[in-house]
């Protein structure tokens, strides 16, 4: 029976590794990605042992600025430092309405480092990975800001 169409936000669609919220008989027919009309930018930084290797640490950022240059939307996602990909909503929400700055980006990095739970393994100790998360968060937001301001 045709159950019609439903729209699932990405935060509800992704459940766990290789697991999503689709029901039997459902399939993805469309992915909607918002188109930003204002000043926006983003960056992805990945620490890897060699090109093409799995990430030791991965940090993805996104910023959108309003007319006054304040942050109207912020995105921060981490990979390889938690049991699943991690959206750092505490840092995202803290940044909204703020003027972008190195200090703000460092604060977001500190929140990200505190929120993630990396493992000690052959790719490095957990404390090292937390330090990389903090630094990459700061760098990636700075890159996103440069893009939002018209640079590369």
- Provide the residue-wise pLDDT of the chain in tens; the chain has 152 residues: 466 899 999 888 888 778 899 999 999 999 998 887 789 999 999 999 888 888 999 999 999 999 999 999 999 999 999 988 899 999 999 999 999 999 999 999 999 999 999 999 999 999 999 999 999 999 999 999 999 998 64
Read off the tokens for 106: 């460092």
CB 108 within 8 A of CB 95: yes
Q: How far, rounded to the nearest angstrom, does the alpha carbon of residue 150 sit from its chain's CA centroid?
A: 21
């Amino acid at each position: 029976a045709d159950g019609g169409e439903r729209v699932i936000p990405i935060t509800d669609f992704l459940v766990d590794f290789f697991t999503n919220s689709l029901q039997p008989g459902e399939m993805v027919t469309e992915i909607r990605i918002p188109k930003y009309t204002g000043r926006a930018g983003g960056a992805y930084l990945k620490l890897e042992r060699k090109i093409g290797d799995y990430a030791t640490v991965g940090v993805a950022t996104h910023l959108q600025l309003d007319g006054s240059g304040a942050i109207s939307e912020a995105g921060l996602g981490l990979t390889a430092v938690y049991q699943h990909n991690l959206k750092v909503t505490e840092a995202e929400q803290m940044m909204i309405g703020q003027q972008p700055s190195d200090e703000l980006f460092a604060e977001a990095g500190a929140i990200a480092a505190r929120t993630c739970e990396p493992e000690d393994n052959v790719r490095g100790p957990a404390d090292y990975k937390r330090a990389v998360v903090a630094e990459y968060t700061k760098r990636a937001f700075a890159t996103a800001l440069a893009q939002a301001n018209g640079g590369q």
